Chains A and B, each alone.
Chain A
């Protein structure tokens, strides 16, 4: 056996006459030339290795026979195993009877599940119908309640507005009109109001500008409303 990395190039028909340079010895060896990629092709076999003949392995005859027997047995049993696996493969492959049966079973299962799915959908749809109806009713009730509440609020607001109007109308009566202006001025001049005042520690109030304590007699002093409490 040749070592790894060596290949034989058959030069059949070209013995001694090939296009690339090789060693003479290599060419004459029965048309077989060994190529080692380690060194260039045109280098001949090394001088030290030129005439060496590799030693052939010596295998005893009994061992050879035994090996032969083992290989025969191995090939036979391997063929049997291969045949068995081939049968198994054909049995389970996509177009086999078992596979077709399995596919049919799967299809039936799928149909069953689809039927179940349909029934479940119907059941859920009925429940949904009821739920939606109830939701609609609830919505209507809510809207009605809200409408009523809004109406109540509007009524309250209207009442408030009416109250304000009546109050304002009351107030309008006290306004000073143009024809009454002279009269009002006369009245105001005739009745001056003095807002000046003073208080003391006891809580008496002295209105007007005459706020000296000694000037006001004891019995005429006016008590403050808060202080008197």
Chain B
């Protein structure tokens, strides 16, 4: 078994990507934030693990995420690409500017909530 925490060969002048590697099991996703070669598959050999992300909400209504900021900045500085979910997460973590998708999702959610409220009030009255 290749370790999930990394150790893959760092290719010379190959494109690296910071992205999620899916772990967990059926109906219970869990992600490692990893550096991999961009052309490798999602479950391919990992160069380095940078953190974890648990998309399931815990009892306190939190989605837990851990990021090794030192290594992340190192890898971004060395020119690694960042996948969309990772860039959204880094934006929320304050490492990168907040991603537009975050704003878009927020205002769309707000709009649907407002619409639902309106329909409720009209139907009740």
Q: CA A82 – CA B76 in complex, angstroms? A: 7
Given A67-B104, A70-B103: A86 and B77 within 8 A (CB)?
yes
Q: Is the CB of A78 within 8 A of B96?
A: yes
A116 sits at the interface (CB 8 A): no
Given A85-B76, A86-B79, A89-B77: A78 and B100 within 8 A (CB)?
no
Q: CA A81 – CA B98 in complex, angstroms? A: 12
Given A88-B77, A89-B78: A81 and B100 within 8 A (CB)?
no
Given A82-B76, A86-B79: A71 and B96 within 8 A (CB)?
no
Q: A111-123 vs B: 1/0 string, CB under 8 Å?
A: 0000000000000
Q: A82-100 vs B: 1/0 string, CB under 8 Å?
A: 1001111110000000000
The CB with the most chain A CB atoms within 10 A, among B77, B78, B96, B99, is that of B77
Q: Which residues of chain A are near B97, meaning CB under 8 Å?
A: 73-74, 77-78, 81
The CB with the most chain B CB atoms within 10 A, among A67, A71, A89, is that of A89
Dominant secondary structure at the B interface: helix
Q: Which residues of chain B are near A82, meaning CB under 8 Å?
A: 76-77
Return the chain A residue nearest B97 by Cβ.
A77
Interface residues of A in 7-59 (CB under 8 A from B): none
The CB with the most chain A CB atoms within 10 A, among B73, B74, B97, B99, is that of B97
Chain A: interface residue count, which band? 10 to 19
Return the chain A residue nearest B99 by Cβ.
A74
Return the chain B residue nearest A72 by Cβ.
B100
Return the chain B residue nearest A80 by Cβ.
B97
Return the chain A residue nearest B79 by Cβ.
A86
Given A70-B103, A86-B79: A81 and B96 within 8 A (CB)?
yes
Q: Which residues of chain B are near A77, meaning CB under 8 Å?
A: 97
Q: CA A71 – CA B78 in complex, angstroms? A: 23
Return the chain A residue nearest B87 by Cβ.
A78
Q: Is the CB of B103 within 8 A of A85?
A: no
Q: CA A81 – CA B76 in complex, angstroms? A: 9
Q: Is the CB of A70 within 8 A of B76?
A: no
Q: CA A87 – CA B79 in complex, angstroms? A: 11
Q: Which of B74, B87, B98, B104 contacts A89 (CB 8 A)?
A: B74
- Distance in Å from the Cβ of A63 to the closest Cβ of chain B? 8
- Distance in Å from the Cβ of B103 to the closest Cβ of chain A? 6
Return the chain B residue nearest A84 by Cβ.
B77
Q: Which of A67, A78, A85 contacts B73 (CB 8 A)?
A: A85
Q: List 7 A-B contacts (CB under 8 A).
A: A78-B87, A78-B96, A81-B96, A85-B76, A87-B77, A89-B74, A89-B77
Residues of B within 8 A of A (CB): 73-74, 76-79, 87, 96-100, 103-104
Residues of A within 8 A of B (CB): 67, 70-71, 73-74, 77-78, 81-82, 85-90
Sample of 7 further A-B pairs with CB below 8 A, known A89-B74, A90-B77: A70-B104, A74-B98, A78-B97, A81-B96, A85-B76, A88-B77, A89-B77
